[in-house]
Structure formats: structure tokens, C-alpha cells
Structure 1
Amino acid sequence: MSLGGLDASGCNLAGVVLEHVDLDGCRLDRADLHQAVFAGCTLVGTSLDEARLEEARFHECRLDQATLKRARLAKASFSACSINRADFREADLKDSVFSQGVVQDCTFSGANIDFTAFVDVHLVRPDFSATRLHRPVLLKADLTGADLTGASFYLAVLHETRLAGMDLEGLDFRLSQFMNADLSGARLTGANLTQCNFQGADLGG
């Protein structure tokens, strides 16, 4: 079914279930979509700015070039999704989960990343600039090429995460876990590594 181009801005669609629906180019700004389910849907270029998406579930969806600026995504889940060049600036991603998909060239600048989890995700060149990552969980994530300018990590879990060759100078990683992480060639000058755990990490130059 195709709803491409639909303007449903501000509509109450809480709990809606959409399966294999084309939502490309739709305008869903400020819509209430909390606890909505999207399965096998395409949301290419879809605008979800300031939408309510708490506890929403996206499974095997495409969100390429979607905009979710200031969207409320607490406890939302994105499983096996393709998310390329999406805009999550200033979104609330507290307790949300990205798993087993591709998140490439997306911007998370200024987003609330508190207990947000990226699990077995191909995370390519994310923009975390000016972002406070509080207790994020990154398992087997690849942060190579990420923009971490002005980012702050605290109590981060970075198990088996790739940070090889990254410029981490001056960043705050207090109480973070780097177990089996790849930090080979990373620049850590001036970084705050108080009580960090590097068990099994590759710190080779």
C-alpha cells in the first residue's frame, strides 16, 4: 500500500500498525505515533520532526534521508533497519535501541543519548558533535570516521567497538568500559579516562 506524500502533520496515530506501507515523502511532523509499529515500511525522505514516537517499533524499515529533529523517541526500537543520512538532531533517544541494521552518515548532534543502545549495528560516520552521550551502549559498533567534536561520553559501554585511528583528544570517557575494543592508533591525549576498563582492548600504536 502506498501513502507516499501524505500530509498527516499533527494527527493522532497512536498505536497504529503499518506493515509494508510506502510512506516515502510523508509529512508526519508533530504527529502522535507513540507505540506505533512500522514493519517492512519505507520512510525515505519522510518528515517526523517533533513527532511523538515513544515506544514506537521499526522493523526492517528504510528511513533513508528521514528527518526526526526534536522527535520524542524514548524507548523506541529500530531493528534490521536501513537508516542512511537521517537527521536525529536534538531528538530524545533515551533508552532507545538500534540493532542489526545500518546507520550511516546520520546526524545525532545535540540529541539526548541516555542509555541508548547500538547493538551489532553497522554504524558508519555518525555525527555525534556537541552531543552528551550518557551511559550509551555500543556493542560491536564501528565508530571509524565518526564526528565526535565536543561530544561527552560518560559511563559508556563500548564492548568490541572499533575506534581505531580516531581522534579522541580531550574527550570525557569517565567510568567507561572498553572491553575488547579496538583503539589501535587512536589519539587519547588529554582524554579523561578515570576508572575506565580496558580489559582485552587493543591499544597498539
Structure 2
Amino acid sequence: MSFRLAFAFVSIAALLVDPTDAVSQDMLRSVDLNSPEMTTSEMTRAEVDALLKSVPQGDGRAADLDGKRLSHLDLSGLDFTGGNLHLVKLNRTNLKGARFDRAILNQAWLIDADLTGASLVKASLLGTQMQRARLGGADLSGARITADLSGASLIGARLAGADLSADMRNQSMGLMRGVLKSADLRNADLSGANLSRADLEFAQLQNANLANCSLHRADLAGADLSDANVAGADFTEADLASALLPSAATLAEARNLDKARNLNLARRPR
């Protein structure tokens, strides 16, 4: 086959690909995670705490930490409520019990961060890098999340009403959506969450509460949903290849399971 003919076939194939199935750009490819930019802090805990406390309460203002380097610090228990943490570096930072309610964490870096028991109610996490973050017992209720949480631990976390769906209006960087590949969501509460087109491939969802959530076109390939509550959950076009499903009685309470993809390839409980 000539080069020109081969190129023509590739070009035609590219046109046939659904652009909405594209994945977001891998930000890690062009970033050195071992560089000082990603591993050091330009402030101490005392300085961060002083900044947070210097903002007057009740006048609508919030702390501005835009772009700050705060990696490897102990910031546990601090209150960042409503703060601007756009592009902040918090890699491997101890954030246990910290409060980020309504905070802006867009494009922030929290790789390997410890957010155990943290509160992120209605926080904005757009394009946020949170691979392997620890969020056991954290509260992300009502948060907007198109973050990469691959390998993250969210055991017992609360994501009720959270929106992890794909942003179909802005795809200049690919499909921005919640990515929970191989994430641990055992006993997590995702009731009423929007998981449309979210990536839950190989996620652990045992005993998770998925009641009334949207799983429209979500990728659940290889996921473990054993004993999960799927009452009212919408499985329209969800990919269930090799997924371990809950009991037949539980599945009977789900919606549009017959419209799921690869249902015949799903695994049934013994």
C-alpha cells in the first residue's frame, strides 16, 4: 500500500471517530513532577494560616492563593472556604480535615495529597490533577468535578449531587470529565450524582450508593458494583464490559439497563 493511500485511510478513520469520545489531554506528559515547582513550598504553614485569617469574614472576599507552591506542607485542618486556589500546587500535602467549601481548585495539583475527612462541598475542581489522592470520608457534595482521580481512595466519601459529567461545551483540550479509573469508591455516597460520560473503568464501587445517579455513557468497564445500590440509576449507553453487577433484584430497580452497552459481557454475581 502506498504512503498516500495509507494516509487517506487514516484520515477517513479519523473523521469517523466521535469527537465526544476523546480523552482530555494528558497534562502529566509535559510536567516534571520531581521539579522544585512541583515538590517545594514558597510559604510555611504559619504564613498560609495567617493569610487565611487576614481575610475579613462576611464581606464576600476570600483568600487568594492562585498559583502558589504549597507542596509537601502540613496544612491539615485549615479553612480555605471560598478561596481561590487556581493552579495551586498541593502535591503530597497533608490536608486532613481541611475545608474547601465553594473553593476554586481549577487546574490545581493535588497528586498524592491527603484529604482524608476534608470538606469540599460545592467546590470547583475543573481540570484538577488528583491522582492517588486520599479522600476517605471526604465530603464533595454538590461539587463540580472534571478532575483526574485515577487510583484515588474515596472510601466512604460523600459525592451526593456532585457533577462529574463531561463538559460538552468546551472540548478544545479534549473531553473534560470526571476520571475515576481504578479509584476506590467502596461505601461512597454518589446518590443523585451526574456521572454522564465519567470514566469509572475498573473502579471499586462495592456497597456504593448510586441511587438516582446518571450513568449515561459512563465507562464502567471492569468496575465492581457488587452490592451497590443502583435504584433509579440511569444506565443508558453505559459501558458494562466485564463489570461485576449487583444482584438481579437490585438491578431490577435501575433504569434503562437494557440500553447499556456490552451488557452481555458483564459479569453476574454467583
Question: What is the TM-score with the length of structure 2 in the denominator?
Answer: 0.69
**How far 1:172 moved relative to its partner?**
1.5
Counterparts of 1:67-86 in structure 2, within 5 Å, are 67-86=114-133
Distance in 2 (CA, whole Å) between partners of 1:57 and 1:182 is 31
- Tell me the percent identity: 27
**How far 1:9 moved relative to its partner?**
9.6
Q: Name which of structure 1's ranges 1-10 and 177-186 shifts more when overlaid on structure 2.
A: 1-10
Partner of 1:7: 45
Out of 110, 126, 136, the residue aligned to residue 89 of structure 1 is 136
**Of Structure 1 and Structure 2, which has the larger fraction of its residues in strand?**
1
Q: Is the 8 A contact 1:18 1:41 kept in 2?
A: yes
Flag structure 1 segments of 5+ consecutive residues without an equivalent. none
Counterparts of 1:24-63 in structure 2, within 5 Å, are 24-63=71-110
- Cα distance per residue 1:132-172 (max 9 Å; x no partner): 32212112122121112222221111111111233333321
1:201 counterpart letter in structure 2: A
Change (3 A) 1:125 1:36: same
Flag structure 2 segments of 5+ consecutive residues without an equivalent. 1-36, 56-61, 166-176, 266-270
User: Do structure 1's residue 197 and structure 2's residue 253 form an aligned pair?
Assistant: no
Q: Is the 8 A contact 1:8 1:28 kept in 2?
A: no
Larger Rg: 2
User: Do structure 1's residue 102 and structure 2's residue 140 form an aligned pair?
Assistant: no
Distance in 2 (CA, whole Å) between partners of 1:188 and 1:114 is 21
Q: Is the 8 A contact 2:192 2:212 kept in 1?
A: yes
2:118 counterpart letter in structure 1: A
1:112 counterpart letter in structure 2: R
**How far 1:59 moved relative to its partner?**
1.5
1:198 counterpart letter in structure 2: L
Distance in 1 (CA, whole Å) between partners of 2:115 and 2:46 is 15
Change (3 A) 1:179 1:136: same
SS of equivalent residue, structure 2 residue 159 = strand
Q: Is the 8 A contact 2:79 2:99 kept in 1?
A: yes
User: Do structure 1's residue 168 and structure 2's residue 206 form an aligned pair?
Assistant: no
Out of 99, 111, 116, the residue aligned to residue 157 of structure 2 is 111
Partner of 2:199: 142
Distance in 2 (CA, whole Å) between partners of 1:116 and 1:9 is 32
User: Do structure 1's residue 152 and structure 2's residue 209 form an aligned pair?
Assistant: yes
**Of Structure 1 and Structure 2, which has the larger fraction of its residues in helix?**
2
Q: Is the 8 A contact 1:6 1:25 kept in 2?
A: no
**Residue correspondences, number:** 204
Distance in 1 (CA, whole Å) between partners of 2:260 and 2:203 is 19
Alpha-carbon RMSD across the aligned residues, in angstroms, is 2.3
